[in-house]
Amino acid sequence: MKLYKIKKSKIDNRRGLYATKDIKEGTKIINYIGKIITNKEVEESAKFDNSKPIYLFTLNNRFTLDGDFHWNTAGLINHSCNNNCDYEGKGYKVWVSAIRDIKKGEELTCDYGFGFDKDYKQFPCKCGAKNCCGYIVRAGSRFRINKKFAISKKKTNKSL
Ligand SMILES: [Zn+2]
């Protein structure tokens, strides 16, 4: 039995994935599948402009995984500022795992991991979490929108 099902999401009126049973922290839930393309293609193709970075995963300094395909069910997972899942990867594989215990019926959410840049207002967040910063920006960068979202001053992040 699959750990997820597709259902209309309260987040942004899109579809999302929901837990079909209780899921333990650390459980691998679904593979994130797509086509492997070169980073050069990403830079050069108009398809990958700034309006849809959410489906791209940089795998290494040469290749990127493009998950923007209808058969990539994991692409339906919505972003939340209080996400219960996260992307993991090894080599050329990317998948989604639970980062805490999830109850049956909960929507599965990830941190899309967007860096903070001048275009952050292009991606408003409607996750509804208490700690929502209002935009889809990864946890480590939310303090740039509002100081109260600082996680830890000790953490350094190269891409900030
Ligand atoms: Zn949010």
37-94 pLDDT, tens per residue?
A: 999 998 888 777 666 556 888 889 999 999 989 999 999 999 999 999 999 999 999 9
Q: What percent of the chain has pLDDT over 70?
A: 88
Selected from 3.30.1360.200, 2.170.270.10, 2.70.70.10, 3.40.50.2300, the CATH number assigned to the domain covering 4-112 reads: 2.170.270.10
Distance from the alpha carbon of residue 47 to the mean position of ligand 1, in angstroms: 26
Going from the Cα of 83 to the center of ligand 1, the distance in angstroms, rounded, reads: 9
Q: Which two tokens stand for residue 151?
A: 């996680």
Contact 97, 77 (CB under 8 A): no
Asked if residue 3 has pLDDT above 60, the reply is yes
Residue for token pair 């700034």: 50
How many whole angstroms from 38 Cα to the centroid of ligand 1? 31
pLDDT at 143: 80
Question: Residue 117 pLDDT > 80, yes or no?
Answer: no
On the 0-12 / 13-18 / 19+ scale of CB atoms within 10 A, 50 is exposed
Expressed in angstroms and rounded, the spacing between residue 71 Cα and the centre of ligand 1 is 26
Please tell me the distance between residue 21's alpha carbon and the centre of ligand 1 in angstroms: 24
pTM of the model: 0.85
CA distance 8 to 34: 23
What is the pLDDT, as a whole number, of residue 26?
97
Q: Do 87 and 96 contact (CB within 8 A), yes or no?
A: yes
